[in-house]
Amino acid sequence: MKGYDVTELALRNLRESLLRNSLTTIGISVGVASLVAMLALGIGLQQLAGRRLEKSGLFDTVVVTSRRDLRSFSREQEQNGPSPAESPSLTETARQKFQALPNVAEAYPDIRFITELRYQDKPHLTMVSGLPFSAKNNEAFEGLQGRFFSSDSAAEVILQKAFAEELLGKKQNASDESVNVAELAKPLLGGELTMRYAERTATPDTAQPSPGKAAGETVAGASYSVVSHEQKLIIVGVCDLDPDSMRGQLRARLFVPLKLAQNLHVMQPSDLRDTTNLVGGMPTYTTVEVRVKSPKYVPDVEDAIKKMGFNTFSIVDATKNLRRFFAVLDLFLGIFGSLALAVASIGIVNTLVMAILERRREIGIMKAIGASDADVRGLFFAEAGAMGIFGGALGVALGWTIGRVINFGTNVYLKRQHFPPEEIWSVPWWLVIGAIAFSIVVSLLSGLYPAGRAAKLDPVQALRYE
Amino acid sequence: MMAAAKTTPPVAIRIDDLCRHYRMGEALIRAVDGISFEAQAGEFIALLGASGSGKSSLLNLVAGLDRPTSGTVVVQGCNLAELSREQLAKHRLHTVGMVFQSFNLVPSMNLLENVELPLRFAEVNRSRREGMVKNALDRVGLSARIRHRPAELSGGEQQRAALARALINQPRILLADEPTGNLDSCTGTEILNFIREFNDSLGMTVVMVTHESALAERYAKRMIFLADGKVVNDQPNPAAESALSRGGLR
């Protein structure tokens, strides 16, 4: 029998016992829905954790320092490559080279300095850090009160909550979770801070013979003067961030836009060292942070930077272990989800065995007029397969709906607890196709026994049956 | 000289020492017990006998629905004992057509679908099928009932539909198992007229099981009497020729 005839006959047979077949199909769909729901939850949680790690910026960043900075990251790095004195400095040119490497999202200098700030004429000493504009998406700024910087060079400032407390003259208690950042921010937002800092100004006449030196002796490298300056800053945000738990530019209590921090030419610790080496007015950096597009690219980028003669540091890609954990979790969730489908498959066997009993005579007639064993087997298989397709499609829709409802409920709860909404439920296209395919396979396997039994039916006995 | 010139029709069915025994509890039932005969192509044979004489069992063996315990059934030159299940299905599909006492139409299908069923199994192209079915139903006078289900038809109409289904794949042999058993005498005659017409006009070999000897005498060209699974009498029936030529087919 041709495929379309088998399909047509199977569908008309299913229509003949509509109620029973519908109930069986619903049984399958409940099984598929439970499978989809479980796996969608696993995938959703995995994606949530992945997003969190990605946003933390811990695993997609390579920290680069010059070998000239003798506080290098490992003995191995010290022993390989050029000696510190022959090593390149971490200049703007080097940063641009890092930026141009494949799979690098951005490379920016780590500009941090301790300086004095005045708020309502009261001095405060703190660590200031320049933040790249991309930090806007960092999870650390998710609970930000107020707003992020309006541009990369705006004279604006974001405060860490403990520093905000200090400005308001409250008792500092950074570890206290009950600190209401919104309440802290209210009086501060729009307020003005005055930052006093030491600006490094390059002197134009570098590499000139020094009048006090003997002939042939020159001043090697740059020279500069240090001038005290003031900068007015508007408070635009207060963030709920514990500076001790973070790394890099986030280990500060006050943040300014990176471009602004660069333009201020604040005296950096490396300036003094590099005075003996460089570099016609070009800024050098203590640290450059290179953010790659995905944690998996970190080793390649790190290698490329090491080959340029710099020291690098990165945290081992923890997402690898995370993926392994979630693969196991998905497996277990899938097994639990499949239990319902296994129960449903017994329903299919039951329905088809009942169909054989009911249609025993019909099978006998079909065999008497020329149906082969394969035709009869194919027909029952097609019926099982059709139930699998309908059950699978219905189950995916049901599972998706359950997911949306639970997601909605979770977000209502999160909102009440003052947390941002989360997508803990994810049904990717491969899960849709996979679940329907799995449902068909399970249905066909369930149809194996009934179809074989129908095919082997003795037509003489079947025709006698009333 | 005349006898030498007359050609013998080919053998359609050759049965040789055919046995079909089966156990029912402790008892061994000898449904068919050493039957031998030949049927020429185009013959109309009536198998007569009391209930349990082995008529239907013999017919099932010729149809390839059942396998013999011993002996051979050769149909159209093919020894059915040597065929696989798949080949036996092909034999039922193309070589023989069957009608039954209880019509055996599929109740959930209308006449078109019932008659179309063997064409589906024979993988006949869909575009050709409806025309073939309509022709077959037209031939048995049911073209107006094509969308009706069996339950909406009389017994005679159902048996005519079963005849159309049996002949749709143009088999060489028609096997009829008490085709008039569930019909009144008038409708029974109508059905047998159709069968005889197919026998005459298409040259089909017909083997019909019946226990109504009057009908057999009127239509069959040869009558084989069975008792206890054995042939007890095998006789030609020249009366059928003359009776039908006197009265016509209808």
pLDDT band at residue A142 using 50, 70 and 90 as cut-offs: confident
pLDDT, tens digit (0-9, with 9 covering 90-100), for B23-65: 888 888 899 999 999 999 999 999 999 888 999 999 999 999 9
Residue B5 has pLDDT above 80, yes or no: no
pLDDT band at residue A214 using 50, 70 and 90 as cut-offs: very low
What average pLDDT does this structure show over A9-22? 88
Q: Could you tell me which chain A residue has the CA closest to the CA of B105? A: A365
Q: Name the residue among A366, A374, A459 with its Cβ closest to that of B65.
A: A459
Pick from A431, A440, A375, A382: nearest CA to A403: A431
pLDDT, tens digit (0-9, with 9 covering 90-100), for B102-148: 999 999 899 999 999 999 999 999 999 999 999 999 989 998 999 99
Instruction: List A residues 73-102 in contact with B (Cβ-Cβ < 8 A).
Output: none
Among A316, A345, A378, give the residue marking a domain's end. A316
Residue A78 has pLDDT above 80, yes or no: no
Residue A257 domain boundaries:
59-316
Looking up tokens 């289904």 gives B165
Over its C-alpha atoms, chain B yields an Rg (Å, rounded) of 18
- Sorted by sequence, the CB contacts under 8 Å of residue A252 that are 6+ apart come out as A112, A126, A127, A128, A129, A160, A243
Angle between helices A360-368 and A373-416 (to 10 degrees): 140
The verdict on B26 touching A (C-beta cutoff 8 Å) is: no
User: What pLDDT score was predicted for residue B6?
Assistant: 53
Q: E strands within B6-164?
A: 11-24, 27-40, 44-49, 70-75, 78-79, 96-99
What average pLDDT does this structure show over B160-164? 94
The verdict on B147 touching A (C-beta cutoff 8 Å) is: no
pLDDT band at residue A366 using 50, 70 and 90 as cut-offs: very high
Measured CA to CA, the distance from residue A128 to residue B18 in angstroms comes to 107
Max mean pLDDT range (A36-40, A109-113, A418-422, B130-134): B130-134
Distance from CA of A328 to the nearest CA of B (A): 48
> A297 and A411 share a domain?
no
H or E element: which one contains A227?
strand A224-239
User: What pLDDT score was predicted for residue B7?
Assistant: 64
Are A366 and B117 a contacting pair at CB < 8 A? yes
Cross-strand bridge partners of residue A313? A63
pLDDT greater at residue A79 or residue A185: A185
> A307 and A417 share a domain?
no
Distance from CA of A345 to the nearest CA of B (A): 27
Give chain B's end-to-end CA distance (angstroms, integer).
38
Among A283, A316, A349, give the residue marking a domain's end. A316
Pick from A344, A206, A149: nearest CA to A141: A149
- List chain B residues with CB under 8 Å of A364: 104
The whole-chain average pLDDT of chain A stands at: 80
Task: Report helix, strand or coil for A349.
Answer: helix
The verdict on A17 touching B (C-beta cutoff 8 Å) is: no
Q: Could you tell me which chain B residue has the CA closest to the CA of A462? A: B65
Are B166 and A459 a contacting pair at CB < 8 A? no
Measured CA to CA, the distance from residue A395 to residue B22 in angstroms comes to 50
Measured CA to CA, the distance from residue B140 to residue B103 in angstroms comes to 15
pLDDT band at residue A271 using 50, 70 and 90 as cut-offs: low
Among A316, A350, A372, give the residue marking a domain's end. A316
Measured CA to CA, the distance from residue B153 to residue A34 in angstroms comes to 48
Residue B86 in contact with residue B80, Cβ under 8 Å? no
Q: Side-chain half-sphere of A232: how many Cα atoms within 13 Å? A: 4
- List chain A residues with CB under 8 Å of B97: 369
Of the candidate ranges A196-200, A220-224, A314-318, B16-20, the one whose mean pLDDT is the lowest? A220-224
Measured CA to CA, the distance from residue A293 to residue A264 in angstroms comes to 29
Are B118 and A369 a contacting pair at CB < 8 A? yes
Are B104 and A459 a contacting pair at CB < 8 A? no
Measured CA to CA, the distance from residue A231 to residue A21 in angstroms comes to 78
User: What pLDDT score was predicted for residue A316?
Assistant: 67
Instruction: List A residues 370-389 in contact with B (Cβ-Cβ < 8 A).
Output: 370-375
> A33 and A90 share a domain?
no
Q: Could you tell me which chain B residue has the CA closest to the CA of A2? A: B123
User: What is the separation of C-alpha A33 from the centre of its chain, rounded to a whole number of angstroms?
Assistant: 27
Would you tell me which CATH number, out of the four given (3.40.50.300, 3.40.50.1000, 3.40.50.450, 3.90.1150.10), belongs to the domain B8-247? 3.40.50.300
pTM of the predicted protein model? 0.68
Instruction: List B residues 119-138 in contact with A (Cβ-Cβ < 8 A).
Output: 120-123, 126
Cross-strand bridge partners of residue A224? A202
Are B123 and A2 a contacting pair at CB < 8 A? yes
User: What pLDDT score was predicted for residue B45?
Assistant: 94
Domain count along chain A: 2
User: What residue segments make up the domains of chain B, in order of their start?
Assistant: 8-247
DSSP A209: B
DSSP A306: H
Cross-strand bridge partners of residue B72? B16
Q: Name the residue among A5, A367, A459 with its Cβ closest to that of B120.
A: A5
Are B108 and A12 a contacting pair at CB < 8 A? yes
